[in-house]
């Protein structure tokens, strides 16, 4: 999936209040699903409930929640240079009238997203089970150091999405419904595509696929990160003198530990440098906590692509 999709993913997160589309787009994600992001895609690994990581007595899922439709219908870089009524002639029905519309996409990555009846379902008792999940997933059952858990899944009665692969892309649509006049026909079940230009993705989904999610991600406790950074810098202070004395050579002894990079990616380095037996079921809560998946994680879905 090219970076032309990145604009849609970012706008989706911002417009819907924190939901993220899956990647690939046809993936279903349910509450309790846990995954990692590998090579810019979601790698689904299991489900808390199906794999009995959460005991049956701790299962507490919400009823279906109706979402605000205004947050689930949006676009970027879209204009409609033509909307009107046309006339045609059928062999059986004779003369008929139809609605016609041209949708223009200003930029590469411009998109049009439309849904009907958006709904969601979520984990109700996250606060009650979050600590036991850290212990089980990092120490007692598994040894995860990076993990996401879906806490809410959203779907819609119908979903239509179009994304442009280049600037000045177009969709020409028509519908024989009598109810439109000059209103928008994009996403309607009677609408047909007459022609398209430079459209990379165009799909209308009529199944209620749980295709959008909110998630919690496993992160290192702030206190542990601060200690790791301080300890790392302290231990490597004057390392050039050690190189000079230990190797007893005339080689240049300047050592660059890339301290700035260490601090920018401290979580990954910290977890890799944990000593044996330092992390256990008794200490897991000292090292880990949960945080909301955010735009940083949207970036991870596109990190393997160029600018």
pLDDT band at 27 (very low <50, low <70, confident <90, very high): very high
pLDDT band at 30 (very low <50, low <70, confident <90, very high): very high
pLDDT in tens, 100-158: 899 999 999 999 999 999 999 999 999 999 999 999 999 999 999 999 999 999 999 99
243 and 174 co-located in one domain: no
> How many CB atoms lie under 10 A from the CB of residue 177?
13
Question: What is the rounded CA–CA span in Å between residue 161 and residue 16?
Answer: 15
Instruction: Answer for the pair 199, 163: CB distance below 8 angstroms, yes or no.
Output: yes
pLDDT the model gives residue 59: 96
pLDDT band at 306 (very low <50, low <70, confident <90, very high): very low
pLDDT band at 1 (very low <50, low <70, confident <90, very high): low
Position 305 in a domain: no
Instruction: Answer for the pair 40, 300: CB distance below 8 angstroms, yes or no.
Output: yes
130 and 198 co-located in one domain: yes
128 and 49 co-located in one domain: yes
Tell me which of 223 and 116 has the higher pLDDT: 116
pLDDT in tens, 72-85: 999 999 999 987 77
Average the pLDDT over each of 124-133, 162-171, 183-192, 228-237 and give the range with the smallest value. 228-237
Domain limits for position 232: 224-272
With vertex at residue 273, the alpha carbon angle to CA 232 and CA 129, rounded to the nearest 5 degrees, is 115
153 and 21 co-located in one domain: yes
Radius of gyration of the chain (CA): 26
Beta-carbon contacts of residue 209 (< 8 Å; ≥ 6 apart): 26, 28, 155, 159
DSSP-derived letter for residue 24 is S
145 and 215 co-located in one domain: yes
Helices and strands, counts by H and E, the chain: 8, 15
253 and 296 co-located in one domain: no
User: What is the value of pTM for the model shown?
Assistant: 0.85
Position 250 in a domain: yes
Position 175 in a domain: yes
184 and 256 co-located in one domain: no
Question: What is the rounded CA–CA span in Å between residue 70 and residue 2?
Answer: 28
pLDDT band at 262 (very low <50, low <70, confident <90, very high): low
- Most confident region among 17-21, 189-193, 241-245, 255-259 by mean pLDDT: 17-21
pLDDT the model gives residue 307: 43
32 and 147 co-located in one domain: yes
| Structural domain count of the chain | 2
């Amino acid at each position: 999936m090219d970076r032309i999709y990145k604009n849609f993913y970012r706008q989706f997160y911002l417009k819907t209040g924190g939901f993220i589309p899956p990647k690939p787009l046809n993936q279903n994600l349910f509450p309790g699903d846990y995954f990692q992001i590998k090579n810019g895609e979601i790698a689904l690994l299991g489900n808390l409930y199906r794999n009995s990581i959460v005991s049956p007595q701790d299962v507490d899922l919400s009823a279906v929640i109706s979402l605000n439709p205004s947050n689930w219908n949006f676009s970027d870089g879209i204009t409609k240079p033509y909307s009107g009524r046309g006339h045609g002639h059928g062999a059986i029905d004779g003369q008929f009238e139809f609605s016609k519309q041209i949708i223009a996409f200003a930029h590469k990555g411009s998109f049009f997203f439309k849904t009907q009846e958006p709904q969601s379902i979520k984990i109700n008792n996250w606060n009650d089970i979050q600590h036991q999940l850290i212990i089980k997933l990092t120490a007692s059952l598994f040894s995860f150091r990076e993990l996401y858990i879906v806490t809410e899944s959203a779907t819609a009665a119908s979903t239509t999405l179009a994304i442009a692969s280049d600037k000045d892309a177009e969709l020409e649509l028509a519908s024989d419904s009598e109810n439109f006049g000059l209103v928008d026909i994009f996403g309607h079940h009677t609408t047909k595509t007459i022609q398209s230009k430079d459209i990379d993705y165009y799909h209308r989904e009529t199944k209620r696929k749980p295709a959008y999610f909110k998630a919690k991600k496993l992160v290192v406790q702030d206190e542990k990160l601060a200690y790791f950074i301080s300890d790392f810098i302290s231990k490597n202070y004057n390392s050039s003198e050690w190189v000079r004395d230990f190797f007893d050579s005339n080689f240049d002894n300047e050592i660059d530990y890339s301290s700035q990079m260490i601090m920018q990616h401290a979580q990954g380095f910290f977890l890799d440098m944990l000593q044996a037996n330092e992390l256990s079921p008794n200490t897991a809560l000292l090292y880990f906590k949960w945080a909301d998946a955010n735009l940083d994680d949207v970036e991870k879905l596109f990190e393997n692509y160029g600018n």
